[in-house]
């Protein structure tokens, strides 16, 4: 099968592309590095004319998606601005869905985050827009909500470094291996559309400050870790389990300790 992967070079996207290839499928990688700015206004139609294609100009999504059985969207933007996040996920999702409709792609698979529709964060505002657009789509779609990847602890460590100190928000997390999320996405994309699928989380709950402490120790970094409860509704969501899977979710296999040991 031919499957397009929006964000196919990212933390989870690169596993999706590898898994598709290993199973004998053709992965079409859509990222800015492969010439597709999915948030650009004309991404769906740019270069669709025969002349543009012949001239080697970047081809529109509609042309590239022809013959695809599914599109897996694992694109992302690093931002703490709700406006930037909603603009990005809104534009990418609208462009992909428009091009899929025009090209006759029967299945759109989006990766979202457990708690994205409930927890008020700037980044999650964009994920909520993405989910709403996909759910309103008459053509086949699947949404998988996953918990944070193990790598999230590294991002928190980088963002929270303050002089000799390491600040970490008080946060309950259920980290999952990115490759296991990729496995689930590929399985979904190769089957019939599922709508909102069962959530996917890691095998056990962890405390983020403890995860960061263990990551720093495993990588030879010595900084005292200070756990800070964030104020407001977002801080509460981090602490009250909103970002954990509910009963009935599917659970990944690799623990955070196993991921650390493999670094």
Ligand X SMILES: NC(=O)c1ccc[n+]([C@@H]2O[C@H](COP(=O)([O-])OP(=O)(O)OC[C@H]3O[C@@H](n4cnc5c(N)ncnc54)[C@H](OP(=O)(O)O)[C@@H]3O)[C@@H](O)[C@H]2O)c1
Among 1, 19, 48, 77, binds ligand X (CB under 6 A): 77
Alpha helices in the chain (DSSP H): 13-22, 50-54, 61-64, 82-103, 122-135, 152-159, 178-189, 208-218, 232-239, 256-261
Query: Which positions from 31 to 70 touch ligand X by CB under 6 A, shown as an x/- string?
Result: xxx--xxxx-------------------------------
Tokens of 169: 């928000």
Question: What residues numbered 90-129 form the site for ligand X, per CB under 6 A?
Answer: 111, 113, 127
Helix (H, G, I), strand (E, B) or coil at 145: strand
Closer to ligand X by Cβ: residue 16 or 103: 16
CA 250 to each of CA 48, 60, 76, 163, 180: distance values in angstroms, whole numbers, following the listed order: 41, 37, 23, 40, 11
Number of residues that bind ligand X (CB under 6 A): 24
Binding mask 180-209 for ligand X (x = CB under 6 A): ------------------------------
In the set 1, 2, 9, 260, which binds ligand X (CB under 6 A)? 9
Cβ contacts of 108 within 8 Å, gap of 6 or more = 70, 71, 73, 96, 97, 100, 134, 137, 139, 140, 141, 142, 193
Tell which one of 146, 179, 209, 243 touches ligand X (CB under 6 A): 146
- Summarize as ranges the residues that interact with ligand X (CB under 6 A): 7, 9-13, 31-33, 36-39, 74-77, 111, 113, 127, 146, 148-149, 152
């Amino acid at each position: 099968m031919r499957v397009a992967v929006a964000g196919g070079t990212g933390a989870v996207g690169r596993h999706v592309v590898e898994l598709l290839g290993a199973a004998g499928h053709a992965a079409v990688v859509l990222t800015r590095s492969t010439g597709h700015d999915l948030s650009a206004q004309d991404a769906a139609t740019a270069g669709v004319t025969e002349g543009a294609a012949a001239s080697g100009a970047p081809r529109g999504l509609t042309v590239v998606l022809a013959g695809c059985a599914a599109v897996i969207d694992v694109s992302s933007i690093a931002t703490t601005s709700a406006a930037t996040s909603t603009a990005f996920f809104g534009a990418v999702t609208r462009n992909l869905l428009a091009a899929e409709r025009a090209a006759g792609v029967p299945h759109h698979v989006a990766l979202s985050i457990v708690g994205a529709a409930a927890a008020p964060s700037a980044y999650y505002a964009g994920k909520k827009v993405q989910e709403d657009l996909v759910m309103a789509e008459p053509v086949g779609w699947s949404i998988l909500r996953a918990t944070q990847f193990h790598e999230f602890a590294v991002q928190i460590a980088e963002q929270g470094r303050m002089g000799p100190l390491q600040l970490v928000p008080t946060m309950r997390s259920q980290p999952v291996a990115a490759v296991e999320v990729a496995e689930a996405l590929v399985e979904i994309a190769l089957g019939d559309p599922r709508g909102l699928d069962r959530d996917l989380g890691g095998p056990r709950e962890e405390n983020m400050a403890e995860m960061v402490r263990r990551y720093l120790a495993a990588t030879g970094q010595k900084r005292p870790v200070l756990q800070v409860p964030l104020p407001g509704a977002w801080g509460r969501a981090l602490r009250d389990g909103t970002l954990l899977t509910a009963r009935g979710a599917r659970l990944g296999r690799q623990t955070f300790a196993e991921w650390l040991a493999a670094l």
